[in-house]
Structure 1
Amino acid sequence: MHQVISRRLRADLLAEELRLLYVAMTRAREGLALIATHNRWTMPKKLPADDHPERIPPAEEVHSLLQWLLPVFRWASRRRMPALRLQECSASQRASRPGAASAAPSSVELSADAKDADVAKSDPSVSFREAPAITTLAAHSASWQRLRQRLDWQYPYQWAVRCPGKTSPTQWRLWLEQDEETVDWSAWSFRRRAAEMPSFLVTTPSGLSAADRGRLIHRFLRHLRIDRSAPREEELRRQLAALVEQGLFTQAEAEAVEVASIAEFFRRPLGQRLCQAVREKRELSFSLMLPAAELPVLAACASEGLASVAAWAAEHVLVQGVMDLLFWEAGQSSPILVDFKSDDLAAEELAEAQRRYAPQLALYARAVSEALGQPCREVWLVFLKLRQDIRLEAETLARCLRP
């Protein structure tokens, strides 16, 4: 059975090769060059003088391109093209010919002699011409230099390969966390995101990862109804139960939402200001075009000689993301930007987390400024689990986007 399956697979493969060969040989418009090599195992078998197409070896006995094509050429030269004759010779025979040094290193050639020329004269439909001899280029000649220049050609915009056309604020933040002196930007820029672990392999008690919990909290905040007064924990749980009934949450997802942390946020000053806001925008998508010269990879590419600041001047990068919350207070035209984080942090890790997320908030603030024509009045980082609200100053945000 194994041999039967192997033969069937080989037959399918040969059929596909024949199909590709047919397509390649029927698409030529002005000329067709066929290049193949052979050894003692793949050498085409010589056919007798009275050969005919039926004696072409079957596909399962063929081991090279020549074993398919040369018998056909022989038959065609004798039956359909009498002015052409197929000759075979060894390398030693070719070396003994005059002008062998400039001849093409082929063991099979089509040629015509005087007798064939007479046939060509008597039959106007038959014609042939001699192929030009291959000349050897002298070293350091103009032709050699042109050939060398073409073979040594390199893509002149290597720096653009390192420059993504589109990115996200999170990716931008990760770029800024790299050490420019040690990171391999060529490998890191095209780093593939690791596949997420299947849900049945997640070891958390609820079956949800930390990222899943964060997405659930943001989903709840997006659908949360906020009145003029700060909602209590009981009210938040009633709203969450209503979302479960509407099919926006499963029961397991609802149990994973830390309602107590959200209720605590509304008891703090920033949460109370949100309840008194005259206007708010949640989960606001944005697109921001930034000059490519501001990409964090620029310094590395410039140090490698791949780019200069001037070369990047005309290029731009599209940054797309989603802001958690914008709200406007009474009598104010500039909004307040808020970004919620669900990281499980210790108190001593707060300063490092603030430094890590500041570039992301800087991009959000810049997008708001360019879209509305005025800067954000305040920018806040809200760590729900740690129950801390951190205000980022304008000077801190300005230092984050390093050109």
Structure 2
Amino acid sequence: EFIEKLLEHDKDWAPAEPETSAQNAVRIMSVHKSKGLEFPVVFLAELNNKFNKKDSTDDCLFDEDDTFGLKIVEPNLKVKLSSIAHQVIAEEKIKTTLAEEMRVLYVAMTRARERLIITGSKEKQKCQKLVTANRQDLRNWQLKDCQCHFDWMLCGLADQSKLQSALDIETDAGCNNSELFSANVVSRARLDEMSLSLLQGEPPSPDDTQRTAGGDAKEILAKIKDSLNWRYAFADLTCMSTKTSVSQLTHREDEFAGAVYADALKRMPEAVERQNQGKVSASQRGTATHLVIQNLDLSRAVSIESIQTVIAKLVSDGAIPEAVAGRIDASAIERFFASELGKLCFAKSNTVLREWPFTIGIDAKELGAASNGENVIVQGIVDMIIQTPAGLIVIDFKTDNITAKAAPDRADRYRGQMDHYVRAAGSILGEKVAGAYLYFLLPETAVSTENPA
């Protein structure tokens, strides 16, 4: 309906006009700000300002095709000369600049509905010379030689008898005499006189001052105070991301986790890394271990041989570097699947989900916000979920290099992460969570976390 109304009234997508535009007021704005607006009377002042052609005069010029032209220094005369490439690029840049300036002039002139007043300052002799040279046929090269918008106006109106008469140029028989156009030349003395009268203008009377300080001024002051004292009702949420990741990028397959920039400046180039392939970080080892567990065939018992087969295939596929593959503890993986927790993966009544991605919405207040009714999107990937008749078993693998005694304390760091995993698994799969475990592979220790479900 809104678009139909626009078409019905023949309006464009102009920005809304402020309240003052409907009043009997004078508005001062740039040409770009006036785009889309219209006014009964428009003044275009100081059209004599020269075009900015600086980008065509630099010593080194580039064009959109990545070609560059240089100014050459003549060693004997010690002067700069433009190379052919420099001249060609400069010519194109001037054409682009003039085309844009012409579009700006068009926008400025079409803002007026009833009356357009154009002003400019230029020596009378130069104006006479420009009009005389262009009152017959106007060529493109002549427009190109113009230095400002005012020159273009003189060239465009050079065949008008009113402009010729105003500049004291003898008119010829081929002149046009448009009734929609008039020209006036103001002398320097008259300009000085008008400027002086403006500078010596009388101050407002006391009555005007008191009227200004009346009810209208108080109302405006109250509005200003309200605006300055306004506070955004959800300011606390502006410091919180609308989407976050549960995982801390513990494995490569977590597509939702943000990039880790820790020690980014210490990382070596790939060519140098190839020479230091014997050095494997804990993060690389952990990522590779998760990838092996994800690709194991659980339709049969897991053995050292089956684990080594998976590792060899991942290396051949380029998923794991050879140096990292040598640091994977295959025996620790085997011992997990031999544990009571790991044996649940082979029960026929159970279903195993590995690298299970999820997306849930959590009340922002649970993440520290004070505002009500706002949700934060939380995304992540759970290492393993075992669906059993008694409920879901949520498992997250850790490759931290710790002892069994230190495992419970280390598990406290991950309890918040596990709470989100449990919540997501229970709500999305629609089943209760029977248990949640952090399994530390190196000490072969499973730590049960609190189950909020």
**CA spacing shift, 1:2–1:71, aligned 2, 3 Å:** closer
TM-score, normalised on structure 2? 0.55
Cα 1:10/1:201, change in 2 over 3 Å? farther
Query: Using the alignment, how far apart are the partners of 1:172 and 1:250 within structure 2?
Result: 19
**Cα distance between partner residues in 2 of 1:30 and 1:145:** 37
Gapped regions of structure 2 (runs ≥ 5): 1-57, 61-68, 72-81, 113-119, 135-140, 161-179, 203-210, 251-257
Match of 1:123 in 2: none
SS in 1 for 2:442: coil
Q: Which amino acid aligns with 1:371?
A: I
**What secondary structure does 1:240 align onto?**
helix
Alignment equivalent of 2:151, drawn from 55, 61, 71: 71
Q: After alignment, is 350-359 or 375-384 more displaced?
A: 350-359
Structure 1's unaligned 5+ residue stretches are 33-42, 60-66, 103-136, 174-190, 299-308, 399-403
1:159 deviation in Å?
A: 3.9
Q: How does 1:331-350 map to 2 (within 5 A)?
A: 331-332=389-390, 334-345=391-402, 350=407
Distance in 1 separating the partners of 2:356 and 2:344: 19
Aligned-partner SS, 1:141: helix
Please name the residue that 2:261 is paired with: 194
**Of the two, which has the highest radius of gyration?**
2
SS of match in other structure, 1:313? coil
CA drift of 1:324 comes to 0.8
Read off the aligned partner of 2:284 and give its amino acid letter. Answer: D
Give 1:328's match in structure 2, choosing from 364, 387, 393: 387
More RCO (CA 8 Å, sep 6+): 1
Residues 145, 258 of structure 1: alpha-carbon distance in 2 compared, 3 angstrom cutoff: same
Q: Does 1:169 align with 2:234?
A: no
**What does 1:210-249 align with in structure 2 at a 5 Å threshold?**
210-227=282-299, 229=301, 231-244=302-315, 249=320
Deviates more, 1:255-264 or 1:15-24: 15-24
CA distance in 1, matches of 2:450, 2:111: 70
Is the Cα contact below 8 Å between 1:199 and 1:208 reproduced in 2? no
Offset, 1:170: 3.3
Deviations 1:86-125 (CA, angstroms, capped at 9, x unpaired): 65869965432359869xxxxxxxxxxxxxxxxxxxxxxx
Deviation of 1:216 (Å): 1.8
- Secondary structure at the aligned position of 2:197 is classed as coil
Structure 2 CA distance for partners of 1:345 and 1:74, relative to 1, 3 Å? farther
Task: Tell me: CA distance 1:248–1:98, structure 2 relative to 1, closer, same or farther (3 Å).
Answer: closer
CA distance in structure 2 between the aligned counterparts of 1:15 and 1:194, rounded to whole angstroms? 46
2:377 to 302, 312, 318: 318
Partners of 1:77 and 1:85 within 8 A in 2: no
> Does the alignment pair 1:367 with 2:438?
no
**Root-mean-square deviation (Å):** 4.5
Asked whether the equivalents of residues 78 and 85 of structure 1 are also in contact (C-alpha less than 8 Å), the reply is no
CA positional deviation for 1:291: 1.8
The structural deviation recorded for 1:11 is: 6.0
CA separation in 2, counterparts of 1:143 and 1:71? 48
**Residue type at the aligned position of 2:353:** K
Which residue, 82, 97, 114 being the options, matches 2:197?
97
Matched, 1:83 2:83: no
Percent of aligned pairs sharing the same letter: 20
TM score, norm. by length of structure 1? 0.61
**1:390 corresponds to which of 447, 450, 453:** 447
Q: Distance in 2 between matches of 1:342 and 1:86?
A: 87
